[in-house]
Amino acid sequence: MSKYELTVVVSAKIEDDERAAVVDKCKALIERFGGTITNVDEAGKKRLAYEIQKMKEAFYYFIQFDAETTAPAEIESRVRIMDNVIRYLIVKQEA
């Protein structure tokens, strides 16, 4: 098992409960593909470096998890098509 971090940038135009549902859906995807979530960090609302979909701000979430090497590709393919996720990135963390 390797350590990974999923960064999700969620639209600031949606309600709090919708935003929580997006994060819960990301966590469910990780667990569905055999991952174990170790930490979820909500960085809050941040200003974007450049405008994305006419938005200047968005909410950032960092989800650390352990998973097999095949899981990140599966998770990314599902997160890519999620509504209200404007950017995402999975990186492998150093041991």
Q: Pick from 67, 73, 74: which is nearest to 35 by CA?
A: 67
Domains of the chain with bracketed CATH: 2-92 (3.30.70.60)
- Statement: residue 95 has pLDDT above 70: no
Beta strands in 19-83 (DSSP E): 36-52, 55-67
Cα separation, 1 vs 64, in Å, equals 13
pTM of the model: 0.91
Q: Which DSSP category does 87 fall into?
A: E
Per-residue pLDDT of 63-82, as tens digits, reads: 999 999 999 999 999 999 99
Per-residue pLDDT of 22-74, as tens digits, reads: 999 999 999 999 999 999 999 999 999 999 999 999 999 999 999 999 999 99
